[in-house]
Amino acid sequence: MHFVISRSDSVRIAEVLVSAPGDSPNTDGIHITESTNVVVQDCKIGTGDDCISIVNASSGIKMKRIYCGPGHGISVGSLGKDNSTGIVTKVVLDTAFLSETTNGLRIKTWQGGSGYVRALRFENVKMNDVANPIIIDQFYCDSPTVCPNQTSAVQISQIMYRNISGTTKSAKAMKFACSDTVPCSNIVLSNINLEMKDGTVETYCNSAQGFGYGIVHPSADCLSSHDKNYQAEIAELAQPSREDIVHTEL
């Protein structure tokens, strides 16, 4: 890790440059754990792992004007490893450029975990040749041996993606691989436009519920939806309350 924010409250990181080779292993740029009310702004991060990683017991995290690349993208997780509990809430990414990263906006959890990821908003993000621009992976397995199938999972809900555009390296521009027993719910897509330079793009869903409005390309019709009445509620919940970050308003 280059920067670690751990067991802290009310932290601002601004105008930081992190530079490591794209093939350098486990070199996260900024890692946030067990912390609240953290603002990361105007940072340029190139690394061999996640540009920013947010893990258990973190809440009220705001990222603004972030450049990421090379690297593995901006990640919540991993969470739930070794049947542990993971909780992350109220995270906002507003205005970012990701270039030639292996992932874009990623939520990753291990099978067998518990807890929840709730009220996240990713908006105003441009992608350039990103392999997995939007991805939720509840079958994450960073292990030399095969991870066994388990029924418990970290619950993922109230996730909003808004104004996301650019180019993808993979045909599956959006991937929502959620737990069969604990489906993802209230995924909201608004004004998404992801293209592949040579080929067509699609959305992959497994046990994912939600809906799109405005332009959504590729189509996310595979999201099963019972949630349209919650559109305004989700938009509100996805914003950290003002009093939580009043000391660090951007």
Catalytic residues: 72
Residue 218: what are its φ and ψ, rounded to 5°?
-70, 160
Three-state SS at 198: coil
Contacts of 243 (CB under 8 A, 6+ apart): none
Q: Where are the beta strands (DSSP E) in the chain?
A: 3-6, 9-14, 17-19, 30-33, 36-46, 52-54, 58-68, 74-79, 85-99, 105-109, 114-130, 134-137, 155-168, 172-177, 184-196, 202-206, 208-217
State the Cα–Cα distance between residues 182 and 180, nearest whole angstrom.
6
